[in-house]
Amino acid sequence: MRNFFLWILIYTSVLALSQVLLKLGLNQIGSFSIKDQKEVFALALSLLKNFYVMSGMLLMASSFFLWITILSWFKLSLAFPLTSLAYVIVAILSYFMLSEKLFLHNYLGIVLIAFGIFLLLFKQI
């Protein structure tokens, strides 16, 4: 069971980090709206040139392969609830890497997620 939690922690960490890297890249690019075909190509080019966006995409693809590996080893009903740990990791990474503030309701949400995971998995482990 120890390996199970380690693999889920690796998967959720990679997935969460991919989201933060995408956000860092988009912060550099800025907001955008697409009005015509030229803007699509310009946006695609700027996304492909951005280190953070490309790193986030690479990690996101890696997380997919981690996930299908995890599913080949463990029951979906056991593995999937633990993926909500990504919400907790994103909140923590956003605080440290994006300087986003966490408020009381954020902390309460993190506690509720952790408690919900505990309730879902209490008798299965």
- Identify the band that residue 62 occupies on the pLDDT scale cut at 50, 70 and 90: very high
For 103, the token pair is: 């408020």
pLDDT beyond 70 at 1: no
Residues 6+ apart with CB under 8 A from 111: none
Average pLDDT over residues 62-69: 97
Q: What's the pLDDT tens digit per position in 4-55?
A: 889 999 999 999 999 999 999 999 998 888 788 888 888 899 999 999 999 9
Q: What's the pLDDT tens digit per position in 85-121?
A: 999 999 999 999 999 999 999 999 999 998 988 887 7
pLDDT beyond 80 at 79: yes
Burial of 27 (0-12, 13-18, 19+ CB in 10 A): exposed
Residue spans per domain, the chain:
2-121
H-helix or E-strand spanning residue 16: helix 2-29
